Chains A and B, each alone.
Chain A
Amino acid sequence: MKSEDRIILYLDNQMNEAERASFEKELESSPQLKTELENYRKFLNKIDDAKDIVADEEYFVEMIPKFHGRLQLKQRIKFMPKLAFGMTTVAAVLVILFFALNKGTNKTVVQNKAAVQTTNYPGSSDLNILSDQYNLGALTPAEIAYSNSVLDSLLYKELNLSPQNLSDYTFGNTQDLNSIVQGLNQKEADEIYNQLLHKKIF
């Protein structure tokens, strides 16, 4: 075992009686070992010096009030989950109320839609889909007129026509296109619009 290891065991009282006696005997005959031991003692004394540090007493006086401040804060934070639970409950009630009221509005819309779509014929399904998607049932008369004009413009564009030159086109039976369009009944017009919608949108 190295001498420094033996010195540490000696200083830490980790040697048994026989080892201790042998080490002390060796110390008497070895000045080098004795010097080494003294050096270790000197270092340990330096460490021991750090036991007598003068510290600010005020810190220790304030330690308890500081702790109680933290404790109060923690207890207040502990209370927060209850507050959060209360707020969540209120929020949940508000959401339920919102949906309940909204459901009532939707019923009105459905009723309006039913009033608008009085006829049901082959080919009207796409218009119904569009109506469902965009809530057409809830449209005002002005909005319905606007959507009709958009559909009209689609029709004109598809036929590469403009309202101005519609009368220029004549067909075999001498009817011009304007009078043909005007002569279409609702069902025929809707079928044409549906086909156009299929082509342009769906």
Chain B
Amino acid sequence: MTEEASDFDLVHKFVGGDETSFNKIVLRYQQKIYWHARRMTGNHLDADEIVQEVLMVLYEKLKDFKFQSSLYTWIYRITATRSINYLRRRNLRQIFSFEEKGGRLIKSKEDIVSNIESKEKLEKLESVLKKIPPKQREVFLLRNFEELSYEEISEITGKSVGGLKANYFHALKKIMELMKEDEI
């Protein structure tokens, strides 16, 4: 049985009333959802909120899912959209001074990364990612971390392949500049 067939099976079982199938779907994709949200927002609390939003959407909309794309693509589409929308809301809150710029200040105990080496790597990445526009960041993450093709990213984001290539180009260029500056 292929992974997609398994997804198909789990979705059908869930639609048929089997709640545990939903849990199995979540277990399969929770890491991907979390890490995309985490890299997009740059902190754990925001990522956790997005994860919960995404799971809620999955739970409510899964019965309408017709497998016109793979479940994986569909989940990424929801995660990517929710992350961008969350960042928009966060920017608005920052404009009206409800929140510190750059997201919430979180205590280390609120983070799920406690290993010092991992923490350093992640902080370095997040400090670079937050300096590039969300749309470019999104493409960079999907291309670089999820290793998706432009066609797959296009299916997720609804953007043209040409536009995505341009976004990735600018994102990578900016990241390289920032990393060079960091080296100096």
Within 8 A of A (CB), among B99-128: 112-115, 117-118, 121-122, 124-125, 128
A62 → chain B, closest Cβ, in Å? 10
Asked if A43 CB lies within 8 Å of chain B CBs, one says yes
What band does the interface of chain A fall in when counting residues whose beta carbon is under 8 Å from B? 20 to 34
* Chain B residues, CB < 8 A from A49: 121
Shortest beta-carbon distance, B122 to chain A, in Å? 5
Smallest Cβ-Cβ distance to A11: which chain B residue = B172
Total A-B pairs, Cβ < 8 A: 81
> In the complex, which residues of chain A have a beta carbon less than 8 angstroms from the beta carbon of B115?
53-54
Interchain CB contact under 8 A, A12 and B118: no
Contact of A53 among B52, B122, B143, B144 (CB under 8 A): B122
Interface range for B: 35 or more
B51-A56 in contact (CB<8A): no
User: Which chain B residues border A70 with CB–CB below 8 Å?
Assistant: 52, 56
List B16-46 residues whose CB lies under 8 Å from chain A: 23, 26-27, 30-31, 34-35
Closest to A36 in B: B176
Q: Is B55 an interface residue (CB 8 A)?
A: yes
Task: Determine whether A98 belongs to the interface, using a CB cutoff of 8 Å to chain B.
Answer: no
Is the pair A8, B31 in contact by a Cβ cutoff of 8 Å? no
Residue of A nearest to B128 (CB): A47
* Cβ-defined partner of A63 (8 Å) among B26, B113, B145: B26
Question: Contacts of B176 on A, CB cut-off 8 Å?
Answer: 4, 8, 40, 43
Say if the beta carbon of B169 comes within 8 Å of chain A.
Answer: yes
In the complex, chain B residues whose CB is within 8 Å of the CB of A14: 165, 169
Distance between A123 CB and nearest chain B CB, rounded to angstroms = 66
Which residues from A are CB-within-8-Å of B35? 53
Q: Does A134 contact B (CB under 8 A)?
A: no
**Can you give 20 contacting A-B residue pairs, CB < 8 Å?**
A4-B173, A8-B169, A12-B143, A12-B168, A12-B172, A39-B180, A46-B179, A50-B124, A51-B145, A53-B115, A54-B115, A59-B48, A59-B112, A60-B34, A63-B26, A63-B34, A67-B26, A67-B52, A67-B59, A70-B52
Interface positions of B (Cβ within 8 A of A): 23, 26-27, 30-31, 34-35, 48, 51-52, 55-56, 59, 112-115, 117-118, 121-122, 124-125, 128, 143-145, 165, 168-169, 172-173, 175-176, 179-180
